[in-house]
Structure 1
Amino acid sequence: MPPVVSSANAGHTHASGVRYGPALTLLASLFFMWGFITVINNTLLPHLRSVFDLSYTQTTLIESVWFIAYFFASIPSAKLIERIGYQKSLVTGLLIMAVGALGMMLAASIPSYGVTLVMLFVIASGITLLQVAANPYVVVVGSPETASSRLNLVQAMNSAGTMLAPLFGAYLILGRSKGGTSATGTVLTEAERLADAQSVILPYGLVAAALIVLAVIIARFPLPAMGSSNSRVAKEERKQLSLWKHRNLVFGIPAIFIYLIAEIGVANLFVNFVSQPEIANLTYEQAGRYLTILWGGMMVGRFAGSAIMQRFDAAKVLAVFSVGAFVVMMITVVASGPIAMWSLILVGLFHSIMFPTIFTLGIKGLGPLTEEGSGLLVMAIAGGALVIVQGWIADHYGLQNSFLLTAACELYVLFYALWGSRPTNAVPDRQAAPLPEAATGEAVSH
């Protein structure tokens, strides 16, 4: 469970004696849920391809629609947070996701590929709102010195969700469908396609119910308010401020964008890579089990990173992990056999802290501009849609050589850790002070 920050070292709220442990524990459930729902897509893709007899282009469009939602929904999410506050935004995000999950049940009943795309966009938009609200909230409530540690800790729960989602999807979607239990290439009848489509109804019904329950709990939970330097301020005051004067944000946006290319590329091409005869010579099913180890490495790395950042500077830790990621990716490119497979699995461990740490460093010192900065960083998650670039490299120069792109991404993260993350024009942490409940519209827990 996330540590409870005492009033002696609470940083932004040192004068209030607010206990953050229960709030962070609850927020960790949000990170679990959006990690869980995001990775269900890995199960959904082959399922939908079978149900709707999709081409690879149509199948890829499903993944692209998911990441495009981050691009379009991020700035509106930041504006919504400015208007209604963090707590109401978290509830709204969960309810949007629940609507999308219920819509997936409708799409399965029809069934309709077009409605499926729309509903996946709705779910991803809700996750975007959660990302824009929850990530900076975790960073700001508590000591600024341990912000990266806190975000890595709750992001570890995100990784736990990504580990469990494939088991959930395999059992309740693939395991209950004709296409999921038949040999590759099996042609389904129209009746079998309809039955397979309806196998999605139960799992998404369970997801929708869980999201609604979580929304009710968060709506009634007394979340601590954010500090005044990070709260909504008058429009005239904002006009005098500029996001682009903060170097850590300016270079952090492409850092998130580039990192997502690396993470999604590894996850999407892992099974194809390790199943090759010259690598591990595994079946797709066997390779999928090793993919779970990669996601597990991300969870372990985030727990470990949270502890390490209690003692060491976050930027320095990020630099070390980026060097490790570069080394194992180069081994993946030049090696063969089990060595190449395990080096690719190890990149999950080194990738583990990158997103939460880059995010924390990116919004450091933004003060009243935290919401907008968070929105831009979450928008950069759209970089995952550019995994198609690695696919093009794999088609033209070989799958193994395509991981040179991943290695190049690690070098940019190293640059960001060593220089780009250094704040400029930062708002001093001491200017932050807890707001009264009336000023924020959010309850303060004592």
Structure 2
Amino acid sequence: MEHYSQTVVAPGRSQTSGGNTGPLVIVTILFFMWGLLTSLNDVLIPHLKAVYTLTYVQAMLVQFCFFGAYFIVSLPAGMLIKKLGYQNGAVAGLTIAAAGCALFYPAATSGYTLFLIAFFVLAAGITILQVAANPYVAVLGDPRTASSRLTLTQAFNSLGTTVAPALGGMLILGGGVLSSADLAKLPAAELTAYYAKEAASVQGPYLALAAALLVLAVLFALARLPKIVDAEQGGAQAGFADALKHRHLALGAVAIFLYVGGEVSIGSFLINFLGEPHVAGLTAERAAHYVSFYWGGAMIGRFIGFAVMRTVSPGKALAFNAAAVIVLVLLAIFSGGSLAMWSILAVGLFNSIMFPTIFSMALNKLGPLTGQGSGVLCMAIVGGALVPFAQGYLADTVSLQLSFLVPAACYLFILYFGLKYADMYTEK
């Protein structure tokens, strides 16, 4: 899945006399890494589902543990950052994420439960990392172009999400997974050995990722980044209830919940969907390569969105993209073959601008309540943990193809939110 950028403290002032380019480049590297790590879930879900013979609902426990960490860790992460500072906080996040990756090694010989714990630890590290890193994007530039700048920065995050499925497909799914009919023919000893071999295929890639994260933590600790001073907040003692009195924030939180939920659901089921005989009939390894088209579209769309939203209202751009996604998902549901396959893959192009646009619109003109508003939006990311369960239930009880009605319904609300606040930045 993709990055979900967030701030849980009000954007402050950057104490730097130099240019902004260097710090933004450093932060962009972090966006790339958590995009890579999050998108690998889309490869591991069908892999673990096959290895442990899980139902779709059971397989969605991966996303429940991963995105549940955003809900549980976001606010403690904000307090940790206030104590450590933004730069040290990012180092802590990288170190914890590395520990989560390292846990995949013993998980391969211990079973599905330890895998789920590893996903939670990894996501906790990413959450701390994002809470620490995103304020740099907020303060290193003109506030009026925050949506545009976040969209550009996250385009590089999408580079990570684009690379990950192809890489994961090659390293993790390369050996292929036997069908249930073939597994039934294996003697018990061979079956046990097969499961152990398939589970162990994640060990090497995740140990390499753990090492890369630790190297990045060292480099980040040594980097000369500007210090961020939190803006003075007259309403610092205000709570979430005060922030939620702003209707655009409350609706924005619902939009974030449904967007993350819908997007995570689509990504989670993509490989299985492309494996359906009446869609593309692809093996898991081949399907993983096509998932890169999905995330590649999101990357291209972010660069386009960066340019377009300099002149077009963010709300109008959001509404247009949401309408396009609804049409594409319905085509994927009610057609077959290449049309269904390319329709669902094209969703990534139009997903591109949604998260940063909703996030920025929801925080518009909150003033001293910006910190509380950011916390609300961070917690709304839990949609990525819950909505896939609804789609998983529908996939288990009705059909995988019809289960995509769940994300289609999520995008209806995003269309409404975009239309309702289409002229937000032009209102007096």
TM-score, length-scaled by structure 1: 0.81
Letter in 2 for 1:200: V
Distance 1:280 1:416 in 2: 34
* Percent identical: 43
Q: Name the counterpart of 1:45.
A: 45
Query: Residue 74 of structure 2 contacts residue 375 of structure 2 at CA under 8 Å; is this kept in 1?
Result: yes
Distance 1:197 1:85 in 2: 38
Alignment of 1:329-340 (within 5 A): 329-340=329-340
Match status 1:153 vs 2:160: no
SS at match of 2:312: coil
Alignment of 1:199-278 (within 5 A): 199-226=201-228, 228-229=230-231, 237-239=236-238, 242-278=242-278
Match status 1:318 vs 2:313: no
Q: Name the counterpart of 1:139.
A: 138
Distance 2:410 2:368 in 1: 31
Q: Please point out which of 172, 176, 184 is paired with 2:179.
A: 184
Distance 1:355 1:402 in 2: 23
Alignment of 1:88-167 (within 5 A): 88-108=88-108, 110-167=109-166
Q: Name the counterpart of 2:173.
A: 174
Query: Residue 260 of structure 2 contacts residue 381 of structure 2 at CA under 8 Å; is this kept in 1?
Result: yes
Q: Name the counterpart of 2:406.
A: 405
Letter in 2 for 1:345: L
Distance 2:199 2:327 in 1: 43
Query: Residue 247 of structure 1 contacts residue 420 of structure 1 at CA under 8 Å; is this kept in 2?
Result: no
RMSD: 3.2
Q: Name the counterpart of 2:3.
A: none
The size of the alignment, in residue pairs, is 408
* CA displacement at 1:350 relative to structure 2: 0.7
Letter in 2 for 1:171: M
Q: Once the two structures are superposed, what CA deviation does each residue of 1:368-400 show, in whole Å capped at 9, x if it has no partner? A: 444443232222221122212123334555444
Q: CA 1:310 to 1:217, structure 2 compared with 1: closer, same or farther past 3 Å?
A: farther
SS at match of 1:174: coil
Distance 2:14 2:205 in 1: 44
Q: Once the two structures are superposed, what CA deviation does each residue of 1:142-179 show, in whole Å capped at 9, x if it has no partner? A: 1112111111112112211112112332333333xxxx
Q: Name the counterpart of 1:429.
A: none
Q: CA 1:405 to 1:192, structure 2 compared with 1: closer, same or farther past 3 Å?
A: closer
* CA displacement at 1:247 relative to structure 2: 3.0
* CA displacement at 1:263 relative to structure 2: 0.9
Query: Residue 298 of structure 1 contacts residue 351 of structure 1 at CA under 8 Å; is this kept in 2?
Result: yes
Letter in 2 for 1:329: V
Distance 1:14 1:105 in 2: 40
TM-score, length-scaled by structure 2: 0.84
Which moved further from structure 2: 354-363 or 180-189? Answer: 180-189
Q: Name the counterpart of 1:417.
A: 418
Which moved further from structure 2: 189-198 or 122-131? Answer: 189-198
Q: Name the counterpart of 1:308.
A: 308
Q: CA 1:14 to 1:62, structure 2 compared with 1: closer, same or farther past 3 Å?
A: closer
Query: Residue 46 of structure 2 contacts residue 284 of structure 2 at CA under 8 Å; is this kept in 1?
Result: no
* CA displacement at 1:13 relative to structure 2: 6.0
Alignment of 1:80-91 (within 5 A): 80-91=80-91
* CA displacement at 1:221 relative to structure 2: 2.1
Match status 1:24 vs 2:24: yes
Letter in 2 for 1:21: T
Q: CA 1:114 to 1:252, structure 2 compared with 1: closer, same or farther past 3 Å?
A: same
SS at match of 1:310: coil
Distance 2:257 2:225 in 1: 30
Query: Residue 60 of structure 2 contacts residue 388 of structure 2 at CA under 8 Å; is this kept in 1?
Result: no
Distance 1:189 1:274 in 2: 27
Distance 1:55 1:391 in 2: 8
Distance 1:49 1:405 in 2: 21
Which moved further from structure 2: 413-422 or 348-357? Answer: 413-422
Q: CA 1:365 to 1:136, structure 2 compared with 1: closer, same or farther past 3 Å?
A: farther
Distance 1:15 1:387 in 2: 42
Q: Once the two structures are superposed, what CA deviation does each residue of 1:256-302 show, in whole Å capped at 9, x if it has no partner? A: 11012221222233334344444445454444433221121111111
Match status 1:387 vs 2:388: yes
Distance 2:13 2:73 in 1: 30
* CA displacement at 1:89 relative to structure 2: 1.7
Match status 1:343 vs 2:343: yes
Distance 1:329 1:114 in 2: 33
* CA displacement at 1:182 relative to structure 2: 4.9
Query: Residue 301 of structure 1 contacts residue 349 of structure 1 at CA under 8 Å; is this kept in 2?
Result: yes
SS at match of 1:378: helix
Query: Residue 319 of structure 1 contacts residue 418 of structure 1 at CA under 8 Å; is this kept in 2?
Result: yes
Query: Residue 105 of structure 2 contacts residue 206 of structure 2 at CA under 8 Å; is this kept in 1?
Result: yes
Gaps of 5+ in 1: 1-10, 425-446
Q: Name the counterpart of 2:5.
A: none
Query: Residue 43 of structure 2 contacts residue 288 of structure 2 at CA under 8 Å; is this kept in 1?
Result: no
Distance 2:211 2:370 in 1: 32
SS at match of 1:238: coil
Q: Once the two structures are superposed, what CA deviation does each residue of 1:36-62 show, in whole Å capped at 9, x if it has no partner? A: 111222333344445556565543322
Query: Residue 136 of structure 1 contacts residue 360 of structure 1 at CA under 8 Å; is this kept in 2?
Result: no
SS at match of 1:248: helix
Distance 1:344 1:70 in 2: 26
Which moved further from structure 2: 307-316 or 284-293? Answer: 284-293
Query: Residue 111 of structure 1 contacts residue 194 of structure 1 at CA under 8 Å; is this kept in 2?
Result: no
Q: CA 1:140 to 1:111, structure 2 compared with 1: closer, same or farther past 3 Å?
A: same
Query: Residue 81 of structure 1 contacts residue 371 of structure 1 at CA under 8 Å; is this kept in 2?
Result: no
Q: CA 1:360 to 1:121, structure 2 compared with 1: closer, same or farther past 3 Å?
A: same
SS at match of 1:181: coil
Distance 2:418 2:167 in 1: 36
Q: CA 1:61 to 1:158, structure 2 compared with 1: closer, same or farther past 3 Å?
A: same
Distance 2:146 2:300 in 1: 19
Which moved further from structure 2: 147-156 or 137-146? Answer: 137-146
Distance 1:157 1:389 in 2: 31
Distance 1:111 1:202 in 2: 16
Which moved further from structure 2: 277-286 or 36-45? Answer: 277-286
Which moved further from structure 2: 347-356 or 33-42? Answer: 33-42
Distance 1:394 1:49 in 2: 14
